[in-house]
């Protein structure tokens, strides 16, 4: 087992008077993380990651063959293929999987604050008149465990994608915080995790924006139809007030933007975001927010978040320069 800053913070909160029940819950969570790490290290079957994601061994080889054929048909774009089945876990199980996977993954690498420490050391050496030291991070720990977890995640990409998509669209800040923690740790497993996770988050954002734009178009069409039928402004206003509360809004993208802001400070995620041309996507989103801000006050804080994300992505000193202070 290895200590994490999150567990240490939770332990401090429990000792500060949060209650004995919170302390016992934290202890149980740490013990579960130790057991899951042993499970993953020993390579027992079924694998730990698959069990957390709800993939339990099936006694029917024929059923597994059918599921594999359906997955291949969906991957090839066959329209006659059945859609992907719904997640086999409920919200509580999905939240528990987010926390458990985050606990099992080894600590983030490079460690938080490593860049600042290296930059401070280099500045001190330059101030003393000496040569700037070469930038070198400590080697990542638990390399065998990282490799095993990455291999298990590769075998359950579909379930992991469902978990990430569910967490990104959740309204709960607890769920999205657990997802950010998992993404940061998973990004330290290998170079392929960041390019895998970023498109999933962007797809959720794209779906939210498309749903909001479609809802606005439908509302405008309904109001135009009412005006053509000769209905007055009062009736149109009542219809508008009845439709807006249940309609998707442009401000719904805030949930994904709040996830991308901390991830953009990580080199792997920032590179993946730039490779997927997220700057252009955010610029279009910003334009739509500006047009909608007069009618929807919720667009103002989202506009600030989008600008903050764009500033981090467009600044070469963030996550790109080894000697940068951030």
User: Please, what is the angle between helix 143-155 and helix 20-42, to 10°?
Assistant: 80
Extract the tokens encoding 292.
């909608």
Contact 176, 259 (CB under 8 A): yes
Extract the tokens encoding 236.
């149109």
Extract the tokens encoding 214.
């479609």
DSSP state of 85: P
What is the pLDDT at residue 11? 47
Handedness of CA 154, 160, 165, 171 (dihedral sign): negative
Q: Is 205 exposed, middle or buried (0-12, 13-18, 19+ CB in 10 A)?
A: buried
Per-residue pLDDT of the chain (326 residues; tens, 9 = 90+): 444 444 444 445 445 444 566 778 788 888 888 888 888 888 777 788 888 887 765 545 555 666 677 677 767 776 555 555 545 567 888 888 889 999 998 888 877 777 777 777 777 877 888 777 666 677 788 888 888 888 888 888 888 999 999 999 998 999 999 999 999 999 988 778 899 999 999 999 999 999 999 988 888 888 788 888 888 777 777 776 777 677 888 999 999 999 999 999 888 899 999 999 999 999 999 999 998 888 888 899 999 999 999 999 998 877 665 445 44
In this prediction the pTM is: 0.76
What is the pLDDT at residue 65? 66
Rounded to whole angstroms, how far apart are CA atoms 198 and 192?
A: 11
- Using alpha carbons, select from 176, 22, 157 the residue that is nearest to residue 94: 176
Extract the tokens encoding 320.
């790109």
Rounded to whole angstroms, how far apart are CA atoms 61 and 50?
A: 17
- Using alpha carbons, select from 263, 7, 267, 269 the residue that is nearest to residue 115: 267
The three-class DSSP label of residue 110 is: coil
- Using alpha carbons, select from 25, 188, 199 the residue that is nearest to residue 99: 25
Alpha-carbon radius of gyration of the chain? 24
Which distant-in-sequence residues (6+ apart) come within 8 Å of 147 by Cβ?
none
């Amino acid at each position: 087992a290895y200590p994490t800053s999150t567990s240490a913070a939770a332990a401090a909160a429990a000792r500060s008077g949060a209650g004995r029940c919170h302390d016992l819950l934290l202890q149980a969570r740490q013990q579960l993380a130790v057991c899951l790490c042993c499970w993953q290290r020993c390579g027992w079957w079924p694998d730990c990651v698959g069990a957390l994601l709800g993939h339990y061994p099936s006694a029917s080889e024929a059923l597994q063959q059918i599921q594999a054929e359906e997955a291949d048909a969906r991957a090839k774009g066959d329209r006659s293929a059945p859609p992907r089945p719904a997640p086999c876990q409920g919200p509580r199980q999905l939240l528990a999987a987010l926390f458990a996977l985050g606990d099992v993954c080894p600590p983030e690498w490079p460690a938080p604050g490593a860049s600042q420490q290296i930059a401070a050391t280099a500045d001190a050496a330059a101030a003393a008149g000496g040569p700037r030291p070469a930038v070198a991070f400590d080697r990542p720990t638990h390399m065998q465990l990282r490799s095993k977890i990455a291999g298990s995640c590769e075998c359950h990409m579909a379930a992991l994608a469902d978990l990430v998509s569910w967490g990104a669209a959740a309204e709960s800040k607890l769920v999205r915080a657990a997802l950010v923690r998992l993404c940061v740790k998973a990004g330290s497993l290998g170079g392929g995790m960041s390019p895998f996770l970023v498109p999933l988050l962007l797809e959720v954002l794209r779906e939210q924006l498309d749903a909001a734009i479609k809802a606005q178009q439908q509302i405008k069409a309904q109001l135009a139809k009412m005006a053509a039928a000769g209905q007055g402004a009062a009736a149109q206003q009542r219809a508008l007030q009845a439709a807006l509360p249940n309609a998707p809004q442009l401000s719904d993208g805030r949930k994904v933007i709040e996830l991308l802001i901390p991830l953009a400070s990580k080199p792997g995620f920032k590179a993946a975001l730039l490779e997927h041309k997220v700057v252009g996507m955010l610029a279009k989103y910003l334009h739509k927010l500006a047009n909608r801000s007069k009618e929807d006050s919720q667009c103002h804080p989202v506009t600030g978040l989008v600008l903050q994300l764009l500033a981090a992505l467009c600044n070469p000193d963030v996550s790109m320069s080894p000697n940068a202070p951030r």
